Structure 1
């Protein structure tokens, strides 16, 4: 099967595989690190050893997840040099800066304090160890910040300009890159999703212990903390997701149109399609169920602005392809020379040169492209509509489910009724759902940017390395084998330590056969 795929498809498949696998560990790292810091803060304030035992237990699971995240994350960065060499050459000055800062400022900070967290219990005071734990959480979030700044630049390439002498994109304003509005909304939305993942993970394992009548005191406290923290996080995900929709509506209009399966422009106030069946042949969405005004509020923050559809955007992109051809023609003749200077009259054309490059997939001499070929290139700017349509709706549905789950958990915990068997089983069944939502979120983000590796600047197919497809296929198979082995080890270790449970002197467990509700109520802050 793989031998029939070209180097572009294989390179994309390999990066997608490694990215999605790596992101199995990132959200749990974000969520658990902050939850552990909160629980250790309670331990320092109250002096109750049960909180220390809880921190050590959850810290062990965090450590397993952290190591796996490092192992899978390093391989991703190497791919920029192996599979995406021209992309790295073309935008390395901009894309490399936040990645370097992430390594120097965030990853080393996190890695250093992780060691102190595990080996400093008997060498540091309570307050010193608490500071270390908060530094671990801070490092995790800083790491996510710089990675997402780099990723957001690919969707909204600000703070950079093209140099016709070097034929590369170069950094013009690091401040603009850092404070990219897409980066800001993507960061807060992503870390909030990570907090939800950590909270569901903690609630699910706590529910498992209560059902099994083991480590009940730690389990109840963990479930209570996770419920309150998770509710705030789940509400934040929905609110901040709305902000992500607005920034996408400003900078990635085609993505919004594809997510909505909206072929024609939706007049103001635009309605949101709650359900429908996209039909690519007829270019319509059948059996639509819509909610008035919602799309207009999300994408434009107004009631009087229309939301453009796929067909009008294709026509606009067709015009941009034509407009970019003069700049491309000038670059083929003058670009790369030490004294090359783009004429002022071609500045507007240069902004659309990336669109002209879409023709490279159709023919090498793009200056001679026919109107039909230009239209075909414009059609390639449409992402996969059904994939985006359903991925987005499943993700949003899960987001509202988490709000309901945490609201119930918070209510039951506040009334000392979190031992209800039906609720505990629901928590356990919900364990995989945050990861499904997170992976769908990345599919929406990255699939929605296609066919661009840098939106409006470089098509994805131009960013790959000049390597044989067989080499990429071989490395892809190697990654599948290696990551499968890592998955087996990771799941095995997590199951082992969950079964083992927290260590140390605990308060009495429930006696065999006793219901959790029969236990005396307790104050979770003790």
Structure 2
């Protein structure tokens, strides 16, 4: 049976929208909690009350955002059973474990520590409360680690194998799943991006206070922490992003070629296209401005290894589809005769390409009946949306370098104690507030949209992972999610703005004059 394209598209759209909503809150939580840990550490080491008040004020905004992140994350996990039932069945043995651990981290460990953070100021000692804050910071990162291990396996499915008897992917090495190089690269890059977001959040709101002459000492101290932490984080994002790019070039060559709009393999080392207009129909890039060698050095760490182009990868895919058809035929034989030695040998030889035969399911009922035209369509379907990836990546990178410049200048002003001398700078810092979210969402698009048409790279096409539901049912749930998530986003923004406008003085958190002098 050919897959209903509407159900696939709507299911993808629903998960994409809920993930994008969820990702509005998670990176800020990752970054802001480390700001709290730094501020409270200064309070414990110096005994200055102002640093405690700073921790409490930014902690209020952290708490609002944390609650929204949990609320939007719960429903995402239920979608695996609701919209992606076959996906859950096919890879649940592998995907389910890190997802379950992430749930334990988020709902039990983080939830407990958040409660202690807010309720423990007068109930436990300063040092114990500081330990709670640091453990909370570590717990948020550990929670992110496990979900990114799950996601990294979707990008690079190591430590697993297809079992013809159970018709499922099963774990062969849990350590390989955990230490997947793609997952590790994604983790450090993603959490660093969250740190940038937390630093920008504090920097921008503090700039708003200075523009209005409010809470000046509080704002200057907050901006000093944000500037130093943000500069380190922004530099880390660029360095670790390079490592993430190398992992992509090693394991997801089509995604890399699409990001670069590299239609044909170039002589090594490949150039990097700074600007261009990708033309999908003619498979070329107009007005291309290229930097020689740069892409080759980033993508291969060498000067003699080529980066395959889209056309070359499509030809390779056609060969993998042919191999996959043999594996598919052998799999069906084994379902009837589990002891067929010849079928076992064929499946063992070609099981890594079985997923490529499944690409044909989007076009015909039986992959074994595929014509050369069908194989060509299946191979062409592995090309993601080149213009979207090309521009998403470049805007994201431009934001990254902008963050380095802004935080470096902020750090310099802080060292000279001139943070409130230049109003144009304060306005720029304020207006920069949305940019980390723009960069983070674009990064998500590059990572996830660039993987299409695969739910699990090379293993399970997205079109085969959907549940047996109707488009009307998905429309209903999609509408409900959009309304619910939009309401949560509005509530979050309203609460954030409300408490930010009140400021530490409005919340009764600003210390007395005598305490400030200390």
**Which 5+ residue runs of structure 2 have no aligned equivalent?**
none
Q: Which residue of 2 aligns with 1:111?
A: 111
C-alpha distance in structure 1 between counterparts of 2:68 and 2:361, whole Å: 39
Q: 1:422–1:336: structure 2 CA closer, same or farther, 3 Å change rule?
A: farther
Cα shift at 1:336 = 7.8
Aligned-residue offset at 1:334: 1.9
Q: Deviations over 1:348-398 (max 9, x none)?
A: 221111001111111102211111111111000000000000000000000
Matches within 5 A, 1:93-492: 93-335=93-335, 343-419=344-420, 420-492=422-494
Deviations 1:254-289 (A, max 9, x none): 001000111110111111000011111221111111
- Quick check: 410-419 or 497-506, which moved more? 497-506
- Give CA deviations for 1:286-320 in whole Å, capped at 9, x if unaligned: 11111111111111100111111000000000010
**3-state SS of 2:28 partner:** helix
Structure 1: gaps of 5 or more residues: 510-521
Q: Contact conserved, 1:215 with 1:506, CA < 8 A, in 2?
A: no
| Structure 2 CA distance for aligned equivalents of residues 242 and 335 of structure 1 | 45
After TM superposition, the score normalised by the length of structure 1 is: 0.95
SS of the equivalent of 1:243 reads helix
Does residue 504 of structure 1 match 2:513? no
Aligned length: 509
Change (3 A) 1:339 1:222: farther
Question: Structure 2 CA distance, aligned partners of 1:138 and 1:36?
Answer: 12
In proportion to residue count, which structure has more helix?
A: 2
CA distance in 2, matches of 1:301, 1:314: 24
- 1:508 deviates by 5.6
Give, in whole Å, the separation in 2 of the partners of 1:336 and 1:100. Answer: 35
User: Structure 1 residues 374, 236: CA separation in 2 closer, same or farther (over 3 Å shift)?
Assistant: same
1:105 shift after superposition: 3.9
Post-superposition offset of 1:109: 1.2
Instruction: Map Cα deviations across residues 208-264 of structure 1 (whole Å, 9 max, x no partner).
Output: 111111111111100000000000000000000000110000000000100011111
What TM-score, normalized by structure 2, do the two folds share? 0.96
CA contact (8 A) 2:254 2:310 kept: yes
Q: 1:107 deviation in Å?
A: 3.8
Corresponding residue number in structure 2 for 1:519: none
- Find the residue that maps to 1:23 and give its secondary structure: helix
CA distance in 2, matches of 1:496, 1:455: 44
**1:427-476: CA deviation from partner (whole Å, max 9, x where unpaired):** 10000000000000000000110000000001000000001110110000
Cα distance, 1:344 vs structure 2: 2.3
- Counterpart secondary structure, 2:277: strand
**Would you say the 8 A contact 1:164–1:340 is kept in 2?**
no
